[in-house]
């Protein structure tokens, strides 16, 4: 499905809809853009510490058609591009075929279907908050941007919920889009306090992003696609082969964008798939296209790999085009042996599998997620790249990897329905386990540190919890965003792609330096509060390294004495401890 409309829960990180267990039902209100919803006899109730709200009252007010199937005890909510299915007693619901968990199952109370609406509303792009003082569920119809991250070979991108785009890392080709071209070499040295080595804000009003090899792509709220960076084979799509250090507009009406190596793709609102850059259908013929060309119709999502493109149609059928051994259709014919040079190419979209809702490609390795939450993979596997428990050289046909998956990411990572992020395969051939992130292992394949190979293993392992977005490149670096909008990074940093404000080719420092939150701060390198949601009379600040309550109060209020207000708002005492990453409630002055 289109990344802009769904797939990852359009989540604004809030404290959730919590209320005391003893609260009477008639004390709870629900408002939509400030207007109170009338529930006609059955008000919201508290079950399991969650506020359950009648489905029909809220969703009909939002313009959904609400259908009820009595034999199956199922409610179906339909409006424009969204179809939500909720079954009584189920701990999950689906939006456009993707499965999401419910903290409390849907149930019938007072002859009404009741459910915790926060997850369902956020899955269709709305913002939900809880006002404790007025005991009110606050629903806003203003769509918010889904947090996203993207990684190029040596640069990084992050899309904040406020629509701001942040970039950092290598800028040799202008891939940061700030009008400059700079590079900090791959020597094992430290470069401190350079703005391009920390996240810098370059654009506003962005809803989708992608990163290729030394170039970047972004789509704004108007559907305008912009590109910048390296352009030697037309990968920017502006009709030239000239590098661009600032964003240049490419096309309109775009709802999805992706990049793979030197290939770019976009989907327009009418379901047309467009491609430019490297011609994946004619590898070795030195042909490329510097302007978008239409490749296929009726496409809802796609993935650009290395030498191939995968497309999912509106009826959930997966097709592929490009190098045959990358498509998951190799049938064992020795004339189609999996070698890079000279391999035959599929020049027309070819069916691979059905019931697919999402795809990603890590160079030649690809993964598909079915509508039932089952993930399949194929391609090179000598380092456990597919995650199927073996190191067989090549997996020719799609093989099952794991179930209960909500979303799949580049870098061999998968998000399960419980919010846990899983990872597998080789991480890098140059780093020790301090760089691998939690759970990484090293394998001695030589006599020195540089001969070690880092693995998570050939089967998925649980990396961390409460994740909403991730991206990685299997021989480089990784980014993860959690539910509190903390941005984590680990891996290579020879061009500052971790955003720590320093360059260090192999990162031989202390282990905790490489598993520390990196925050989206202003481009002057001064840490500033990150507002998460809208809490009446307060805001949220994410604790950073070196913070004290006094320094936070002094920075925010201009008066260090206000730290006692922070203590009280968070229920702290003078002896309370907090750590980097803690979300503090900051009462408004």
| pTM beyond 0.75, yes or no | no
| Pick from 547, 544, 494, 491: nearest CA to 519 | 544
DSSP string, 448-502: SGGG-EEE--SS-EEEESSEEEEEE-TTSEEEEEETT--EEEEE--TTSTT-SS-
Contacts of 276 (CB under 8 A, 6+ apart): 234, 235, 237, 263, 264, 288, 289, 290, 291, 292, 293
135 burial class (0-12, 13-18, 19+ CB within 10 angstroms)?
middle
Contacts of 271 (CB under 8 A, 6+ apart): 297, 298, 299, 300, 314
Q: How far apart are CA 419 and CA 357, in angstroms?
A: 18
SS3 content of the chain, % helix, strand, coil (to 5): 10, 40, 50
Torsion of CA 272, 273, 277, 283, to 10 degrees: -130
Residue 505: CA atoms inside 13 Å, Cβ hemisphere, count? 8
Q: Mark 342-370 as b/e (b = at least 16 C-beta within 10 Å).
A: ebebbeebeebbeebbbbbbbbbbbbbbb
- What is the pLDDT at residue 15? 23
- What is the pLDDT at residue 575? 61
Residue-level pLDDT, tens digit, the chain, 589 residues: 334 333 332 222 222 222 333 334 347 888 887 788 888 778 888 777 678 888 888 888 888 999 989 899 999 999 877 899 999 998 888 888 878 888 788 888 888 888 888 888 878 877 777 766 677 887 877 655 678 999 998 899 998 877 888 888 889 999 999 888 876 544 433 444 444 677 788 888 888 999 999 999 999 988 999 999 999 999 999 999 999 999 999 999 998 999 988 999 999 989 999 999 988 776 545 568 899 999 999 999 999 998 899 999 989 999 999 888 888 887 665 554 444 344 577 888 999 999 999 999 988 899 999 988 999 999 988 888 899 998 888 898 999 999 999 899 999 999 998 888 998 886 443 333 333 343 444 333 333 333 333 455 788 988 888 888 899 886 678 888 887 677 777 777 778 787 766 676 444 333 333 333 333 332 222 222 222 223 345 666 766 655 667 777 776 776 666 777 888 887 777 666 666 566 778 887 6
Q: How far apart are CA 474 and CA 471, in angstroms?
A: 10
Strand partners of residue 452: none
**Unique residue bearing structure tokens 């846990």:** 420
Packed helices 563-570 and 549-557: angle between N→C axes, nearest 10 degrees: 110
Contacts of 353 (CB under 8 A, 6+ apart): 317, 318, 328, 368, 376, 398
Distances in Å between the Cα of 39 and the Cα atoms of 25, 29, 43, 404 are 12, 10, 6, 34
| Pick from 231, 227, 195: nearest CA to 210 | 227
Q: How far apart are CA 422 and CA 558, in angstroms?
A: 43
| H-only helix segments in 370-430 | none
**Unique residue bearing structure tokens 């313009």:** 63
Torsion of CA 478, 267, 420, 204, to 10 degrees: 60
Do 275 and 264 contact (CB within 8 A), yes or no?
yes
**Unique residue bearing structure tokens 């490419």:** 250
């Amino acid at each position: 499905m289109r990344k802009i409309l769904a797939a990852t829960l359009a989540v604004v990180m809030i404290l959730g809809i919590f209320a005391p267990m003893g609260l009477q039902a008639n004390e709870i209100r629900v408002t939509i853009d400030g207007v109170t919803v009338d529930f006609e006899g059955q008000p919201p109730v508290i079950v399991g510490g969650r506020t359950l709200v009648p489905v029909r009252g809220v969703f009909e007010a939002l313009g959904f058609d609400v259908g009820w199937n009595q034999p199956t005890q199922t409610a179906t909510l339909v409006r424009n591009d969204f179809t939500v299915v909720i079954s009584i007693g189920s701990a999950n619901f689906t939006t456009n075929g993707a499965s999401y968990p419910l903290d409390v199952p849907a149930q019938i109370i007072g002859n009404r279907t009741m459910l915790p609406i926060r997850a369902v509303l956020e899955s269709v792009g709305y913002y939900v908050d809880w006002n404790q003082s007025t005991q009110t569920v606050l629903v806003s119809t203003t769509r918010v941007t889904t947090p996203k991250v993207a990684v190029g070979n040596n640069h990084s991108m992050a899309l904040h919920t406020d629509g701001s785009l942040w970039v950092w890392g290598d800028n040799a080709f202008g891939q940061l889009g700030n009008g400059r071209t700079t590079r900090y070499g791959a020597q094992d040295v430290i470069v401190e306090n350079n703005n391009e080595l920390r996240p810098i804000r370059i654009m506003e009003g962005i809803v989708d992003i992608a990163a290729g090899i030394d170039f970047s792509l972004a789509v704004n709220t108007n559907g305008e696609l912009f590109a910048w960076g390296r352009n030697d084979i037309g990968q920017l799509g502006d009709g030239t082969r000239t590098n661009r250090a600032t964003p240049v507009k490419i096309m309109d009406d775009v709802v999805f964008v992706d990049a793979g190596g030197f290939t770019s793709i976009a989907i327009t609102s009418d379901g047309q798939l467009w491609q430019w850059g490297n011609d994946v259908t004619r590898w070795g013929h030195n042909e490329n296209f510097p302007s978008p060309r239409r490749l296929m119709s009726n496409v809802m999502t796609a993935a650009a790999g290395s030498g191939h493109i995968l497309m999912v149609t509106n009826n959930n059928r997966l097709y592929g085009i490009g190098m045959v051994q990358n498509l998951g259709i190799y049938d064992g014919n020795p004339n189609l042996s999996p070698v890079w040079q000279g391999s035959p190419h599929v020049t027309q979209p070819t069916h691979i599998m059905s019931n697919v809702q999402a795809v990603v490609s890590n160079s030649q390795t690809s993964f598909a997620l079915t509508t039932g939450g089952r993930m399949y993979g194929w391609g090179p596997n000598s380092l456990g790249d597919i995650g199927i428990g073996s190191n067989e050289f090549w997996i020719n046909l799609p093989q099952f990897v794991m179930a209960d998956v909500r979303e799949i990411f580049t870098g061999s990572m998968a998000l399960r329905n419980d919010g846990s992020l899983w990872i597998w395969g080789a991480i890098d051939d140059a780093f020790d386990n301090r760089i691998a992130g939690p759970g990484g292992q090293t394998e001695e394949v030589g006599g020195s540190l540089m001969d070690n190979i880092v693995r998570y293993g050939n089967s998925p392992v649980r990396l961390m919890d409460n994740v909403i977005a991730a991206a990685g490149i299997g021989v480089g670096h990784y980014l993860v965003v959690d539910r509190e909008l903390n941005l984590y990074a680990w891996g290579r940093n020879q061009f500052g792609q971790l955003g720590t404000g320093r360059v260090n080719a192999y990162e031989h420092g202390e282990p905790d330096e490489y598993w520390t939150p990196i925050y989206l701060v202003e481009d002057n390198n001064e840490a500033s509060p990150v507002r998460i949601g809208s809490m009446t009379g307060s805001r949220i600040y994410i604790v950073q390294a070196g913070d004290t309550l006094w320094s936070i109060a002094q920075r925010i209020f201009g008066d260090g004495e206000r730290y006692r207000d922070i203590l009280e708002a968070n229920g702290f005492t003078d002896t309370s401890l907090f750590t980097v990453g803690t979300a503090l409630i900051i009462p408004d002055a």
